[in-house]
Amino acid sequence: MSVTQNTAERSNFLEIRNLKKEYTAGNPILKGIDINITEPGIVAIIGPSGTGKSTLLRCINRLIDPTDGQILFDDADLCLAKGAQLRKLRRQVGMVFQEYNLVERLTVIENVLTGRLGYMSAWQAWRRKFSQEDINTAFELLDAVGLTEHAKKRADSLSGGQRQRVGIARAVMQNPRILLADEPTSSLDPKTAVEIMELLERFSAEKNIPALVNIHDVKLASRFAKRMIGMSNGIVVYDGPPEGITDEHLKQIYGGESWLV
């Protein structure tokens, strides 16, 4: 089966079945999550602090090992993947972090290029043997996020918003089948936050892939998301279009009502 055929036939991007995670035995954080991602576009995950949103995203690319359940991705179960197979699956999952997590002492363009590390040997990485194609893509991506003139600067000389753009470019550089973003806008001002969401929306549309975004700002979430997932106490309590979220739902997700204006 050829690769193109594969994507054309693909009916779903990611299927999470009965996912459970306990950091300490007997104290489940995720208590059986079922999510089926069938369409490209932004999926916003909302929920109170400590409910396990980060845990969920980090289970998907196995920065955390789930306790039980299945994560079906690219015809494989991510929960069972190990070693080289795990790395192969990981490179198809791009991740954007709240604290950007760039390698500060490398240049901006090199940070974008690290998105290709999963496709290279360590020896090639050491010798900076990126293919010309990768280098071209990296510059195109930098152009797309508006940082062309910063390419040769060190990452630690950028502002937060600029760093997050680099973070997104790095994730897209992986040529991922799905994007994960853990509170990508929480450290940024409202205007920059919108710009970052626009970038995520744009790349998910261009690449025709879904982007799972953990986010605390419900308004911002409903503005960009095609689908909202509300989590509370380790389970999914709402899953549907943003328009369908009522104050009742929000009360159920976050508890209390005094904060609802």
Ligand X SMILES: Nc1ncnc2c1ncn2[C@@H]1O[C@H](COP(=O)(O)OP(=O)(O)OP(=O)(O)O)[C@@H](O)[C@H]1O
Query: Which partner, another protein, Mg ion, ligand X, none, binds residue 51 by CB below 5 to 8 Å per kind?
Result: ligand X
> Out of ligand X, Mg ion, another protein, none, which partner does residue 50 contact, by CB within 5 to 8 A per kind?
ligand X
* Stretch of 1-9, 45-53, 151-159, 165-173 contacting ligand X, by CB under 6 A: 45-53
Residue type, 128: R
Residue 207 site contact among another protein, ligand X, Mg ion, none (CB < 5 to 8 Å, cut-off depends on kind) = none
Nearer to ligand X, 28 or 115 (CB): 28
103 binds another protein (CB under 8 A): yes
233 binds another protein (CB under 8 A): no
Interface map 47-86 toward ligand X (x if CB under 6 A):
x-xxxxxxx-------------------------------
Residue 106 binds another protein, judged by CB under 8 A = yes
Asked if 194 interacts with another protein (CB under 8 A), we say no
- Interface ranges with another protein (CB under 8 A): 61, 63, 87-95, 97, 99-106, 114-122, 125-126, 167, 170, 174
